[in-house]
Structure 1
Amino acid sequence: MRLEAYAKRKESAYATRGLGAFHQAKGLTLRQGVVTIYWISEFAAMTGLSTSAVRFYERQGLLKSQRSDCGYRYFSMQDAFRVNAFRTLLFYGLSVEQAVEELDREQDNEQFKSLLEDQYEKLSTQADALNRRVVKVKQAIELIRSDEIESFKFVDVEDYLFARASHGSDFNISTVNKDEIRILYEMFGVSACARILKKTEFEQMLPTIHPDYIITIPERELQRIPKRDSLHFEKMVMGKCIHYIRRVDREKSEQMSSFKGLIDYLEDHGYKLRADIILFPTYFNLDGNGCDVETLYVPVV
């Protein structure tokens, strides 16, 4: 009964809004009490859109509403199907412009398949990046909650690939490695920033350490980089390492005296430094005050 009453109100509205001739001309009728023409508020409700979104879709060329003699917008069920097809393309990650362009093309062809394959690669890369962020945020939370000033753990570490941004404070090498640095920043973000602490400086017990700045990733991540054959990376062979976490302020971080805890640990446990150390800063003290949390992988024998 409610549907029949709605249909009667709708038919009355057709007459009021000048749709009589329009309705017949389009061959659109009330079949089994189902209305086959919808004005904008109804169309917005049935498709889950706002009226402003419907108008936006019209401006983009997605929808072409019909007009009654009195100027009212009207849509059909076919328009609703078109909206959902459009939403599907947006869900695949296409831009509004791409989706509008693809909507009227034949989609059972190689071009469309290639487009979806490209989207799959793009979204997979974004998903990987998001997962890495989740891991980094979790690690940061654990570090903040920890009360330990420093901690030591013996671990097996996979090898790292890196693009060198500096030799000490000389960053001229970054112009040579700019393509490698750019792609690593784009794909892995600032979490790929690290420093190399040279073994020779530790052996000489110099009062100040001069780290080399690098952008680095585990070697297994190389497969995620497109066009990687044209890129050149250096490699750090890691293997058996001491996983060393410490809290230190920025000013003291490069002073040899700040590594006393690490040096004492190596001596007490009979370890010797085997290669350069890789240091990952967490950047908690963005204003330069307080302590940062640094994670170091220290290759040992």
Structure 2
Amino acid sequence: MSPLDLILDPLQYDFMLRALATTVVAAIVCALLSCWLVLVGWSLMGDAVSHSVLPGVVLAYVVGAPFALGALVFGLLSVALIGVVRGTSRVKEDAAIGIVFTTLFALGLVLISVTPSNTDLNHIIFGNILGVSAAELIQVAVLAAVALAVLLVKRRDLTLFAFDPTHAFAIGLSPRLLGAMLLGVLALTSVVALQVVGVVLVVAMLIIPGATAHLLTDRFGRMLVIAPALAVASSVVGIYLSYWLDASPGGLVVVVQGVVFALVYLFAPRHGVVRRGARRRAAARAR
């Protein structure tokens, strides 16, 4: 089989085309958001929101509502609960995050175990990208468009909030409002990525692209280009590998992103471990 056949053969199937389109859309919005999450230091918050949507998805299934609606409601609920626990008690933020997301995730698992269903609800946990319908693709595209619009329109304010919230407050911006906006986009983006990799691996798509781009450049504007480009390339490679290896597509998308991060971590021109080691050895010889 020629290399061209390797590329074109999966494209004969509608489910593969929908899978590729959904994954690319999710990769772009997750990668853009990940740039801010990495700078603000909200990696654990991304983990919390992505896991907290599980009971919302199950309850949406029970009442016959769209999965995305239930996931979005519980994503926003988890953000609100974390804020309440942190603001009204001596419990610190990391503990509040751990309490809320583990409790809601466990509630989701309980609901799955007691909900009779002709549908495999475990797909919510591990993703079911190859089973995405045309309607679900449209749903994902609409949610992603809303999240992207907020990030692009407010990118300057959000960037200032990420780098210097004190200065943002001094010039009349509200760090609290900007933080809430970022958390709202996080909840929306978690719903988008849910279809691709499930709640367990959403956090990887929300963190790895931004962390990888952060090792490649010191300019935030360039991060916003590099992160989506790497995420899209990794996602396409992961989906193709899943087709040819008959393996989990969501898992392979994240594995490829992890491999890319490892290569950048080792060999990035300025911040890679190998390059830094070479510079230290050269400096030691110069002395």
Whether TM-score is above 0.5 comes out as no
Q: TM-score, length-normalised on structure 2? A: 0.23
Q: Which has the higher helix share?
A: 2
Q: TM-score, length-normalised on structure 1? A: 0.22
Structure with bigger RCO (C-alpha 8 Å, 6+ apart): 2
Mark the structure with the bigger radius of gyration: 1
Q: Which has the higher strand share?
A: 1
